[in-house]
Amino acid sequence: MPFLVKHRYALFFIGLLTTWQTSAGERVDLPPPLSPYIEAAQTAPEARPAEALSVHEPIYFMLGDGSAFNARFQLSFKYRFFDDQSDAAKLLPVIRGLYFGYTQTSLWNLDRDSKPFEDTSYRPSLFWMHDSGGRGLLPSSWRLGYEHESNGRSGSASRSIDSLFLQPRWEVALHQRRLTFEPKLHAYLDISDNRSIPDYRGYTDWIVRYGREDSWVWRGLLRYGMKGHVTAQLEASYPIRRPLLTRTGAFLYMQLLHGYGHTLLKYDQREDLRVRFGIAVVR
């Protein structure tokens, strides 16, 4: 009961969003997507633009209540090394799917005198992505690669993870909205700075995304550690301007995080539910 009282406003807001989402799902005639690509083209490999720089993970800036009043923000992109017309890609077609990815997540304490950054996670990766189209139970795409994650600190505050990952992706239409399931499976190579990371993160990030690009989109992340430690993150977003490209524009953004991993530094420290609100440019 104390938990419900403490977070009654967050629970009320979640209920309001859910009611809005449900009522939207009951409509028969939906407006066309605001994206310049139609819904079908957003997943058809042959219809996607062969851009060099593209979206990777969400990009946002949010304020909320953590261990102190703070801001949490994230930057992310991926870069495709070879286009279809390059000589190297014509000679060796498989390298067309080679990407460099980068994601940076920071927690910024705003209620302290010097307004310090509590911790920052840097995640460069090198991976190969293949759009298979997906028929039946087969994934629509695959990602296979290497990822390094570090907080860039030394001594006892140092945190570093090296891993190989495999990330299949399935997409289906559900109630005129797109449901995406893309679990990210990890094989740790080096966790010398934090040997107990599997106890808190496990070996799989369970990621689900559901919605329409011209309306609400929900994104969930679940981690289940080997010793039963659970982390859940739920994000909801709604467009406030016409999208520039698929997943890119300006969006109201809400994030609920409960469990571990608020920062890489404190990956093994549990915190109660934290609620943050802000703006995203990629969701």
Report pLDDT for 181.
Answer: 97
Vertex 97 angle, CA 93 and 102, to 5°: 150
Q: pTM value?
A: 0.80
Which segments in the chain show pLDDT lower than 50?
A: 1-6, 8-9, 11-12, 16-49
Residue 151 to residues 105, 119, 157: CA-CA distances in angstroms?
10, 7, 8
CATH number of the CATH domain containing 120 = 2.40.230.10
Where do the DSSP E strands lie in 83-194? Answer: 98-109, 117-131, 141-150, 160-174, 177-181, 184-190
**Domain range enclosing 111:** 2-282
204-242: per-residue pLDDT in tens? 999 999 999 999 999 999 999 999 999 999 999 999 998
Residues 6+ away with beta carbon under 8 Å from 134: 140, 141, 169, 170, 171
Report pLDDT for 219.
Answer: 98
The tally of domains found in the chain comes to: 1
223-232: per-residue pLDDT in tens? 999 999 999 9
